Structures are given as structure tokens and as C-alpha cells.
Amino acid sequence: MSQPVYLDYSAATPVKPEVAEAMRPYLSQEFYNPSAIYLAAKHAKRQLDGIRQSAAVQLGAKPAEIIFTAGATEANNLAIQGLGRQYPGAEILISAVEHESVRAPAELFDSREVPVDEHGRILLNKLSNLISDKTLLVSVMLVNNEVGTVQPLSEVAALIGHIRRQRREKGNELPIYLHTDAAQAGNYFDLHVSRLGVDLMSVNGGKIYGPKQSGILYVKAGLKLWPLIVGGGQEFGLRSGTESLAAAAGLAKALDLAQNARGAESKRVTSLRDYFESRITELIPGAVTNGTKNHRSPHISNITFDGVDNERLLMELDERGVQCAAGSACSASSDEPSHVLMAMGLSREMAQSTLRFSLGAQTTKDQLDKAVSALRQILQADR
């Protein structure tokens, strides 16, 4: 059987050979615990410092602002719970299209969702109206994982800057911070924190051809968080547990490769995605692409096939060697329609007729032709 056509890069990316190479020394030779006191361990500690420095450079941050975590779920939880627990009674605002790993921790506190437009972009006027004197944190993802919608983060940052100045004038001492979940963004967008204007940012190694369970929470200097995991006090007291130099080195290498290639890769993947969507529009009557091309990451096509059950279509595609997703991987096992699509105004039925195809490093035109032809065969047999 020929190789399957993998169109689920939003769920997982294969580790690049250069990344595996960067990890290798720390698996066996340099296995030492960086907190130990003999020379070899001190050397490991210096290596970890270097890895942190390299990740910091890619994000335009200082090394002490980089907290290594086990993925983006943990980074999102550390950001939201680490702030929320310190300020009982304060409010958290999240966009209505956030990933579950932002929604669930936000729900532990007094939180509200900011509505989005039909393309999944946050409504800035609604955000502005929802911000109150008690708002502590606004969390808006950089790139949505189901539709690929890119959020107007710099406008959100400007609004928050304005609120901060107003608070200072009024003598309101409650801080207000901006967090972004950038888990889906690293391959195509600039992750420079000061250009983005964020105070907290989550990065995910497993989506940028690095190891799974590797991630970063960027925490702007001066911002105090409470740790979720306490113990030996590693990661500046914010994330106890013996550090994994292999995971950190893999993530830093993946970040370096992704950020340096993002211009060329964006162009390549955009042209493949546009080709895919134009073939679908041409050949599959009634198929509609969600989101707007102007504000969409190159790697995601979210397509509604009117009247078709997405779970069934997904399985039939799989039988024909095409791997894609119905919504996010995390909610794949639930029967609930996507909260992202519903927030964009799609009906339950339409949400349950929608598939996500996500492209990546090994995607070719030929693979996309195979996927379109499999879709045609299935849908024609249905009608």
C-alpha cells in the first residue's frame, strides 16, 4: 500500500532529523542532573543555560523569561492558574475560540468569553466593553488550531496598553496582562514577544517538528506567577522537577529551524493550501472553506461538506489512506460539535459536517490531489 497522505500537522509533527541530532547527546552522554554539584553536572547546567539562551533569542526574550514546560497545555495552565490563584475575585477574559487547555483553566476562575466574527476573529469592541476594573488577564491565541484564524494580537496589545494607562491614572493597582497561546504559530509567524506585545506566551515543541511534551512559557520580567508544580524549585521556582536537557535542546533547535524558515515555508504551504482549496471548490459541490484567507495561517483548511457526517467521512478517508481531523485532536473523542465553529456562527449540523486538513513540511501537490480524489470518490458514492 502506498504511504498515507498525512494532513493532520496541527495535531502532531514528526521530529526533524536535525532536532533528533540536537537531542541525542543529552540522552546518554550528557545525562547528568544539572542540579548536582560535580563538574559534569555543572557542565550540564551550563549547557541548559545555553539552550535557554538560544530559545530566548528566537523569541526576543531574556533567558530568565523562558520557562521550559511539558508542552503547551502546561504552559497555558501555568499562565492562567499561576496568575488567577494570586488574585481571587479578579476576572479572566478569553476569546471564544481558545483551545481546551486555555478554556479549562480559565473556567476555574471568574472568566468570560469574548465573541468572534464569522471568520473566528475576536471582536475588539466587545473585548473593550468586557474589560472591567477587575480584569486581570486577557488570553487570545495567535493562530486558531481548528480554522487557522490569525487573531489581531497587536490591536489587543494596544488596547491593553491603553487600559493600563487608564488604571494608573485612576489609581487601580490591579495589573492587566496579555497571554497568547502560540502553539500553532511557530512554523509560519514571528514569535518575537515585544513585536507581539504580549506578557505571557505559550509555545509548543510538538507542533514545530520538536519533541512532544516540550514547551515554553514566556513570562515577561517582573510578572509574578505562582507555580503549579512545586518541589525542587527548578525553572526559577516555576516548574519543579529535574530538567530534560534533551527536550529543551530539541525544542530550542526546532524553534530555531522554524523561525528561520518561516518566510519561505509560509509561501510554499500557502500555495499548496490555495491549490487544495481551489480543487475542492471546483470538484466538490457544496464544499465551503471556513475562515478568511486574509487572516488565516497557511497550514489549515477547515472545510464544511454540507449534509455529510464528518466522523464517517473521516473514517472513510482514513480507509483510503488520507489522515485528517474533525475539529481539534483533543475533542476528537467527544460528540460535541466544535465550539470554535459554533462561535463563528455555524449551526451544529454544519459543525458536524466539517473536517480540518492541516498541511506541513512533507505535504506535496500530489498528496493533495490524492486527498481530493478520495473525497470525490466518497462523496459521489454517497449521492
C-alpha 170/C-alpha 160 separation (Å) is: 15
3-state secondary structure 358-370: ECCCCCCHHHHHH
Long-range contacts of 345-349 (CB under 8 A, 24+ apart): 345/118, 346/290, 346/304, 349/307
Residue 283 engages ligand PLP in binding (rule: CB under 6 A): no
Whether 330 is catalytic is yes
Say how many C-beta atoms besides its own lie within 10 A of residue 252's C-beta. Answer: 27
Among 71, 59, 53, smallest CA distance to 12 is for 71
Residue 99 engages ligand PLP in binding (rule: CB under 6 A): yes
C-alpha 138/C-alpha 113 separation (Å) is: 10
Shortest separation between residue 173's beta carbon and ligand PLP, angstroms = 31
Of 123, 130, 288, 330, which one is the catalytic site residue?
Answer: 330
Among 353, 342, 303, 351, smallest CA distance to 118 is for 342
Among 268, 283, 271, smallest CA distance to 371 is for 283
Q: Which residue has the cell 489512506?
A: 321
Contacts to ligand PLP from residues 130-189, by CB under 6 A: 141, 145, 181, 183-184
Closer by beta carbon to ligand PLP, 14 or else 307? 14
Residue 72 engages ligand PLP in binding (rule: CB under 6 A): yes
Among 81, 135, 149, 204, binds ligand PLP (CB under 6 A): 204
Contact indicator for 158, 183 with CB cutoff of 8 Å = no
Residue 69 engages ligand PLP in binding (rule: CB under 6 A): no
Residue 210 engages ligand PLP in binding (rule: CB under 6 A): no
Shortest separation between residue 32's beta carbon and ligand PLP, angstroms = 27
Residue 71 engages ligand PLP in binding (rule: CB under 6 A): yes
Closer by beta carbon to ligand PLP, 72 or else 272? 72
Contacts to ligand PLP from residues 111-130, by CB under 6 A: none
Closer by beta carbon to ligand PLP, 47 or else 149? 149
Positions in the binding site for ligand PLP (CB under 6 A): 71-73, 99, 101, 141, 145, 181, 183-184, 204, 206, 328-329
What residues act catalytically?
330
